[in-house]
Amino acid sequence: MNGLSLSELCCLFCCPPCPSRIASKLAFLPPEPTYDIKAEENNPTKFTLILNERADWQFTDRDKEYIETFYARSSRNNKIACLFVRCSSNAKFTILFSHGNAVDLGQMTSFFYGLGQRINCNIFSYDYSGYGVSTGKPTEKNLYADIDAAWHTLRSRYGISPENIILYGQSIGTVPTVDLASRYEVGAVILHSPLMSGMRVAFPATKRTWFFDAFPSIDKVPKVTSPVLVIHGTEDEVIDFQHGLTIYEKCPRAVEPLWVEGAGHNDVEMFGQYLDRLKQFVSVELVN
């Protein structure tokens, strides 16, 4: 059945909904927090971002003035740490960025600031429940509630219209990104190293979505009505390249994808064509 061995089938049906191989490859891996958010003494509603040495901030202290941080509250009653990085004074688009599995906002801050400057976008991001200083535990249901909280905060606090928002998901971050994009039309969607579903990562021969499968993006992608750019390394050792290829084929409005020859799961950004493709997409294709 579906090319699975007898032992694999036994594993699936004896211990759903989280077969051990899914857990080993896709379990949430929040790092020790690399930052804190402190309320200012004279204004308890205003917060300061404090990065520790593991955050590896690569810019000046003055550059931190362009970063605003605060909490949002999710529908599942978790406090979600949020970050708005004002990279450009004339940006047309704001990216709502859902990061990868084993990082938090502190580790991503330098990347956000540098990326936003290079592609002329502001960047809004958030930490999943149980990541960084966000409360709660990382679960699939919390993941969807977390991005909803981020989305509504970005819309209400900053008044940014959906057509000026680009949803960007990386790795596990493609899961909430696809979920949100299947429910709202936005300026564009970027799926960086996406997965079809948890089962399909752990058991590559899986051809259908089982009732206990986690992260079934493959079933939601056909409902995405916005332009979608898919990015994937051809030598990805965590989420096979076939996932990106299939997601791309299922997107109704997919644009020319970026297949990065020789790139793995965590080094796509190191290749020159990564920035080139993003610039072309944001500054040329979406504008025209």
Of the candidates 264, 205, 204, which has an alpha carbon nearest to the alpha carbon of residue 234? 264
Q: Alpha-carbon distance 220 to 178, whole Å?
A: 7
* Cβ atoms < 10 Å from Cβ of 29: 12
The answer to whether residue 236 is catalytic is yes
Of the candidates 230, 257, 112, which has an alpha carbon nearest to the alpha carbon of residue 169? 230
The answer to whether 199 and 22 have CB atoms below 8 angstroms apart is: yes
**The one catalytic residue among 99, 236, 240, 243:** 236
**The one catalytic residue among 98, 125, 171, 226:** 171
Please state whether 272 falls in left (phi above 0), alpha (psi between -120 and 50) or beta: alpha
**The one catalytic residue among 99, 192, 232, 265:** 265
Residue with tokens 């990106």: 244
CA distances from 255 to 45, 79, 232, 244, 249 (A): 42, 35, 14, 13, 10
The answer to whether residue 265 is catalytic is yes
Six token digits for residue 105: 């906002």
* Cβ atoms < 10 Å from Cβ of 288: 5
Six token digits for residue 213: 């499968």
Six token digits for residue 122: 């502001």
Q: Alpha-carbon distance 48 to 35, whole Å?
A: 10
Q: Alpha-carbon distance 235 to 271, whole Å?
A: 13
Of the candidates 147, 158, 164, 166, which has an alpha carbon nearest to the alpha carbon of residue 68? 158
Catalytic residue ranges: 171, 236, 265
